[in-house]
Homo-oligomer: A and B are copies of this chain.
Amino acid sequence: MENGAGHPEGLLLDAPSVGAPAGRRPRADAARNRAQILAAARRLFAEKDPRAVTMGDIARAAGVGRATLYRRFPDTASVAVALLDEHERELQGAMMTGPPPLGPGAPPDERLAAFYAAMVDLLDRHLPLLLGAETGERRYTTGAYAFWRAHLRVLLREAGAHDPEALVEPLLAPLAPESFAHQRDRAGLPPARIAAALAWSARRLLGGQVR
């Protein structure tokens, strides 16, 4: 951990996945149901508009009652968050302790570009889940988002940007699932081109010299 300036450590999601009470070992049937719920939800989110999936849909597809579902997840977004958890944790690990340029050691503009590339990849592979998870302002209150924000703040400061605090949001905004969905699916831009454009702007914004 070579970043003395306070790397965002405690912000990594360390809670044992949403919907899985930490108290003691869960009952066998409860665990089985939880697995069924997640499997069914993953299927549903993929096959129809993720924002149109209802609690009833998930319960029916999982073969459980609605109240059973409500016991663990307050809404469909929470289910999607639980499904994303693993993937986001992985990325967070790579950002904190993985090899450069995603991990520490590379100049900030290259790290930003690598972060963009990794996020585009995440978006490309799990877009339905991300759309299901980040409806409206929920995006800003999730644990993962706080982590991305802290990461960018560090990079911005390192690069001597004008006002790191105010620049974090604008740099993160292009990664909003809705925005990515629009670019890839409606405008037809291939993810690689999106990532390239973001890399270009990362270098312009944080690079020491132009060109």
Contact B178 A136 (CB under 8 A): yes
Q: Would you call A86 an interface residue if the criterion is a C-beta within 8 Å of the partner chain's C-beta atoms?
A: no
Report the stretch among A53-61, A96-104, A189-197 that lies at the interface.
A189-197
Number of interface residues of A (CB under 8 A): 37
Main SS of chain A's interface residues? helix
Whole-angstrom distance from the CB of A185 to the nearest CB of chain B? 10
| A189 close to B166 (CB less than 8 A) | yes
Residue in chain B with minimal CB distance to A134: B178
A5-13, A23-31, A33-41, A198-206: which lies at the B interface? A198-206
Q: List 20 other contacts, CB 8 Å, given A166-B183, A167-B200.
A: A136-B136, A136-B178, A140-B182, A140-B186, A162-B197, A162-B200, A163-B193, A165-B189, A166-B193, A166-B194, A166-B197, A169-B179, A170-B201, A173-B176, A173-B179, A176-B176, A201-B205, A204-B204, A204-B205, A208-B210
